[in-house]
Chain A
Amino acid sequence: MRGIMDNTDLLNLIDITVSFEGFLALNKLNLNLKKGELRAVIGPNGAGKTTFLDVITGKVKPTKGEVIFKGKSLVGRKEHKIARLGVGRKFQSPRIFENLTVKENLEISVTTPKSPLNLINKSIKDEQINEIERLMKIVNLAQKVDSKAGSLSHGQKQWLEIAMLVGQKPDLMLVDEPVAGLTDEETDLTADLLKSLSGENTVVVIDHDMEFIRRLDSNVSVLNQGTVLCEGTMETIQKDQKVIDVYLGRPED
């Protein structure tokens, strides 16, 4: 059985079922992530990729099943509690605070503790300022510190959001289509960035872009109709008959 706990596992999804009015968005999905792993998740439209992220981050409560993160169950916890436990999420289209500057966006993400009293009473810690500067250099936004985030280009917004994700220092990073709308060059840079993050962090990347996934050079899980169809390296996946059927259509159907 898959559901058995493994000590090195950071996250276990056990028999997750999500039903919207009888429509099964996820159907007995099982998935395990090791600490420090980089994992790509692919699947056709409607395979349940985003719902899968919604379940982990607490936006959607699974109808059945269990989510174990660092030995704790996440089911029924509020989103902000899950985030504080160490799950960070980057959204499909960049969701940054457009009316705040780049620096203010990053401040929001690196600040700890995230209580109102801390925010209103104390000024930001030195090491947090250093962290912000480091992040801005990594994502090439150092010149844009005081620009409104809304004035950034699409690619810069994507990167700012990734920087915010990193600044949160999560143990698990969930990255939803980070290269949508990016140029080829930016795509390559993003792939390298994500690769460099794994090892220290555990990263899950969801995307359609096969070239990008190949460049990540990681294990791949294929989602179809709300369940994991198969797992393995890019080569094994591409040879798998079930995957070929899903993507190219089954002759007998």
Chain B
Amino acid sequence: MELLLDSLFNGVAIGSVLLVAALGLAIVFGLMGVINLAHGELMMLGAYTTYVTQLIFKLPILKPFYNSYIIVSIFLAFIVSGVVGILLEKTIIRKLYGSPLETLLATWGVSLILQQFVRSVPLAYGTGLVISLLIALFLPTIFPLKIKESINFKYYKFSTWIFAALTGVLTGSLISSSVSKLSRASARNVDVTAPSWMRGQVEIIGTTFPKTRLMIIVITLISVIAITLFLNQSAWGMRIRAVTQNRQMSDCLGISTEKVDIITFGIGSGLAGVAGVAVSLLGSVGPNVGGNYIVGCFMVVVLGGVGNLLGTVFASFGIGIMTDLIGAGRLLSIWPDMPLPLSNTINFFATTSMARVMIFALIVIFLQFKPTGLFPQKGRMVEN
């Protein structure tokens, strides 16, 4: 019983990492049909955001609030990845709607650039750049209507860009001069240390459980609930669903599909950032940290059924529990005296990498029988 519970907890822990990582992809791929291979790099940005936030919270002014940096970084990571995602949508992805294979290649290019960017550019200036982007993209949208409609709007817009650039450079150099660790570019991996209240273990029904793992489960839960509420209860959520179901009709009904695309992609990317916070708690953060998750994320979304959040939830926990069962050779401890050939096979797959082999192979086989995943979208429109 205790073994099973242990296994279940571990599986849920693995699954929740997968879920939070795949959630953004489920939005972007599931609702928009966009294959974003830079999703892993958006996660990586979220992880680096956590690191930067942590260092900034070590500054004397913010030191008293140090323990809450992880909460703040969740919001910041959402914003950082979301802004980069929006920029991506506005510059590249928008041009490639309807040609998923091209999107796939272009976003791979983006992922390479982002990886090299964090290697070559000091994080302080990277932060500055993100702040510039944030100002440049959002300041014009909150201008009063009077300015927006004036013929001189382009000059206003131009001056926001200058303002944005100046602010960016200023914050960049400010951070660079006050936090020495952020002032140099470095290809090395960095480590995020959890605040003291998140270290150690908790006991739940007789089994011990690392607090960081619990935190990840909480982050995942909140993200899933928030995104479900947003999609089902808010006006923009309804518009997103409308555009997913019938783009042309939504256009005719006066929904700005362009705005819907930006918001959907921004939220999907932002969720990748949140996933990055979770991932940064698990191990060290490097330029390649996201790449380790991307294929797994796609498998989760495809297995769950594209365009179905519930499917994504089931698929990630399913894969999580299976990974633990196979990777830790649990079956052997549940059934110790099984026949030798069987136990040899189980031992053969009882490593992390071999468990991955097994899981992926199982998913590929599963998709042979149900190509549309666990919860397929139904209806006559699907085929086209």
Q: Is the C-beta of A25 less than 8 angstroms from some C-beta in chain B?
A: yes
What is the interface of chain B mostly: helix, strand, loop, or mixed?
A: loop
Instruction: Please classify how large the interface on chain B is, using the bins under 10, 10 to 19, 20 to 34, 35 or more.
Output: under 10
Q: How far is the CB of B382 from chain A (nearest CB, A)?
A: 10
Which residues of B (340-384) have their CB < 8 Å from a CB of A?
378-380
Question: In angstroms, how far is the closest chain B Cβ from the Cβ of A113?
Answer: 29
| Chain A residues with CB under 8 A of B378 | 21
Q: Which residues of A contact B380 (CB under 8 A)?
A: 20-21, 23, 25
Complexed CA–CA distance, A250 and B378 (Å): 34
Complex Cα–Cα for A251 and B380 (A): 33
Roughly how many angstroms separate A20 CA and B378 CA in the complex, as a whole number? 8
**Bound CA span A23–B381, Å:** 13
* Distance from A115 Cβ to chain B, minimum over Cβ atoms (Å): 25
Q: Using an 8 Å CB-CB cutoff, how does the interface string of A162-183 with B read, 1 for contact, 0 for none? A: 0000000000000000000000
Instruction: Name which residue of chain B comes closest to A59, CB basis.
Output: B383
- Chain A stretch 13-29: residues in CB contact (< 8 A) with chain B: 20-21, 23, 25
Chain A nearest CB: distance from B384 CB in Å? 11
Which residues of B lie under 8 Å from residue A20 when comparing CB positions?
Answer: 379-380
Which A residues are in CB contact (< 8 Å) with B379? 20-21
In the bound assembly, the distance between CA atoms of A135 and B16 in angstroms comes to: 62
Q: Which residues of B contact A23 (CB under 8 A)?
A: 380
Q: Mark A102-128, 1 if CB is under 8 A from B, else 0.
A: 000000000000000000000000000
Chain B positions within 8 Å of A25 at CB level: 380
Which residues from 131 to 188 on chain B have a C-beta closer than 8 Å to any C-beta of chain A? none
Complex CA distance for A25 and B380, rounded to whole angstroms = 10
Contacts of A21 in B (CB 8 A): 378-380
**Distance (Å) between the CB of A36 and the closest chain B CB?**
33
Closest to B380 in A: A20
Closest to B379 in A: A21
Interface residues of B (CB under 8 A from A): 378-380
A-B contact pairs, 7 of them (CB 8 A): A20-B379, A20-B380, A21-B378, A21-B379, A21-B380, A23-B380, A25-B380
